[in-house]
Amino acid sequence: MNVAITIAYLLAAVLFILGLKQLSSPKGARNGNFIAALGMLVALGATLPLLHFTQAGLVIVGIGVVIGTIVGTVGARLVRMTAIPQMVALFNGVGGGAAALVAVAELLKLGAHPAFAESFPSLFSIVIGSVSFAGSAVAFAKLQELMTGTPITYPAQQVVNGVIAAAIVAFTIAASVIASVPLTFLPLLVLALVLGVAFVLPIGGADMPVVISLLNACTGLAVAATGFTLNNFALIVAGTLVGASGSLLTKLMSDAMGRSLGNILFGAFGQVRTAATAAGGGPARSVRSASAEDLGTLLAYSQRVIIVPGYGLAVAQAQHAARELADVLEKRGVEVEYAIHPVAGRMPGHMNVLLAEANVPYEQLKEMDQVNDDFKNADVALIVGANDVVNPAARSTPGSPIYGMPILNADQAKNIIFMKRSMRPGFAGIDNELMFGPKTVMFFGDAKDSLTKLVSAVKAA
């Protein structure tokens, strides 16, 4: 490889590393993204001299780049902030798909009896890229609610997945050691796609962020493997960086949810869930509910209100309505804060983004550790579409699937207004004792409508 090209790839790798470094600090995050994008431009520019275009090649590169740019820009610009997680899943999936296809093309070039060191990285990339593609597609469908977000389980699921995985390993070894026909990659491709789907199906919608992060790391590894096939430094380094940092990020995310990665991935949740639902099948218990006027008065004459936003707020696009309520309360001298659970919304940090979009002042956003001691001094904890993150069972019920998860101490507030669409349980699929508590008042309805009603009620009070 040409010296200038190698130096340019090195520069790109340095820019990627600096970009990642900046992305992980609040001050420089946006710059970090620019730096990484610059690194990408350098890597692409350095590749140009390596391309020897055929006529057809020129045409398809032109078409592909134009379509990809339009789809990417329009998709990323138009997507609503609440739908960001599934958009990331989609962009990750197409990356995995691209890695698998590049590996297929390379494998076909290798001929009938490729050396192990040449064919193995291609096969690895095909498998991991396909798993990432299919898994991301399922994650997208779950988050976009094209299919149910609850775990899909069937008997002997672990065994079936294990058999598919074993078959993939066997095929990979067979194909790279003894294969004489390049087409052995086809069954491998199909099996990997099936595994991607089967692997994500039993994982609940609430855990999708962790899954997407894991698949993101997988795509990184697939890209690195393709780099080995193509002997391309940029692919190896950038792919490996993403693979390593993505794996660590996956672990940090599951830590933030207070769960182990194994617990998230391997359906433990699903099993406990059935047990919990069976146990909770007793007679329906009654809850207190109140009119918007009563609640408006309660809020208007409080000194301190803590808003606990959850996914219900995000999905109803109610962040602006929440801000409006906070504004009218503050005008009356009420102190308002937002308590942000680390996994509020659908991804860690998602809620901060949504509230920032509604121009909520940064100082009012309190992280869990900062705000948890304040709840006992709060007159009202206003829970808007959150559930599992305020479920006291996480502290008190050792058998509960969320036991041990850090929660917001909303139950310690003097009054609790629980705004919810229905009595339906949260993603964890378990009842929330807090709803039945003596200090709790339920206010049913769409989060946005309900908040708007509260705004007028507070104004009238």
Partner 1 sequence: MTENLLNELTFFVLAVFVGFEVISKVPTILHTPLMSGTNAIHGVILVGALLIAAGADTPVNIVLGLVAVTLATTNVVGGFVVTDRMLEMFKGRRPGGAAPAGRAQGAQNQK
Residue with tokens 């609790």, as numbered in its chain: 416
Q: Which stretch binds partner 1 (CB under 8 A): 18-26, 188-196, 200-208, 407-415?
A: 18-26
User: Is 388 annotated as catalytic?
Assistant: yes
For residues 440 and 432, give the distance between their C-alpha atoms in angstroms, rounded to a whole number. 11
Nearer to partner 1, 187 or 349 (CB): 349
CB of 425 to partner 1, least distance (A): 25
Number of residues that bind partner 1 (CB under 8 A): 119
Q: Which stretch binds partner 1 (CB under 8 A): 97-105, 148-156, 396-404, 450-458?
A: 97-105
Would you count residue 97 as binding partner 1 (CB under 8 A)?
yes
What is the H or E stretch that residue 38 is in? Answer: helix 29-47
Would you count residue 143 as binding partner 1 (CB under 8 A)?
no
Q: Which two tokens stand for residue 70?
A: 């339009």
CB of 75 to partner 1, least distance (A): 5
Q: Which stretch binds partner 1 (CB under 8 A): 41-49, 191-199, 281-289, 413-421?
A: 41-49
* Annotated active-site residue in 294, 373, 379, 388: 388
CB of 125 to partner 1, least distance (A): 9
Binding residue (CB under 8 A) for partner 1 from 4, 7, 67, 169: 67
For residues 154 and 426, give the distance between their C-alpha atoms in angstroms, rounded to a whole number. 22
β partners of residue 417: 382, 441
Within 13 Å of residue 167, how many CA atoms lie on the same side as its CB? 17
Binding residue (CB under 8 A) for partner 1 from 114, 205, 220, 385: 220
Give yes or no for a contact between 427 and 433, defined as CB atoms under 8 angstroms apart. Answer: no
For residues 250 and 220, give the distance between their C-alpha atoms in angstroms, rounded to a whole number. 13
Would you count residue 314 as binding partner 1 (CB under 8 A)?
no
Strand-strand pairing, 380-384 and 365-367: unpaired
For residues 193 and 197, give the distance between their C-alpha atoms in angstroms, rounded to a whole number. 7
Binding residue (CB under 8 A) for partner 1 from 263, 353, 412, 446: 353
Q: Which two tokens stand for residue 409?
A: 């101490």
Would you count residue 86 as binding partner 1 (CB under 8 A)?
no
What is the H or E stretch that residue 309 is in? Answer: strand 304-309
Q: In a 10 Å sphere around its CB, with 0-12 CB exposed, 13-18 middle and 19+ buried, how is residue 55 labelled?
A: exposed
Would you count residue 227 as binding partner 1 (CB under 8 A)?
yes
CB of 166 to partner 1, least distance (A): 26
Would you count residue 135 as binding partner 1 (CB under 8 A)?
no
Would you count residue 49 as binding partner 1 (CB under 8 A)?
no
Would you count residue 385 as binding partner 1 (CB under 8 A)?
no
CB of 454 to partner 1, least distance (A): 22
Give yes or no for a contact between 122 and 229, defined as CB atoms under 8 angstroms apart. Answer: yes
**Residues 260-279, interacting with partner 1 (CB under 8 A):** none
User: Closest Cα partner for 207 from 133, 122, 265, 124?
Assistant: 265
User: Closest Cα partner for 76 from 94, 100, 64, 98?
Assistant: 94
Would you count residue 68 as binding partner 1 (CB under 8 A)?
yes
**Residues 185-214, interacting with partner 1 (CB under 8 A):** 209, 212-213
Sheet containing 335-340: give its strands across.
Answer: 365-367, 335-340, 304-309, 380-384, 415-420, 440-444
Helix runs in 231-340, H state only: 233-256, 261-265, 268-279, 292-300, 311-315, 319-331
Would you count residue 29 as binding partner 1 (CB under 8 A)?
yes
Would you count residue 75 as binding partner 1 (CB under 8 A)?
yes
Nearer to partner 1, 256 or 417 (CB): 256
β partners of residue 382: 307, 417
CB of 31 to partner 1, least distance (A): 9
Binding residue (CB under 8 A) for partner 1 from 216, 391, 409, 440: 216
CB of 84 to partner 1, least distance (A): 7
Please identify every residue annotated as catalytic.
388
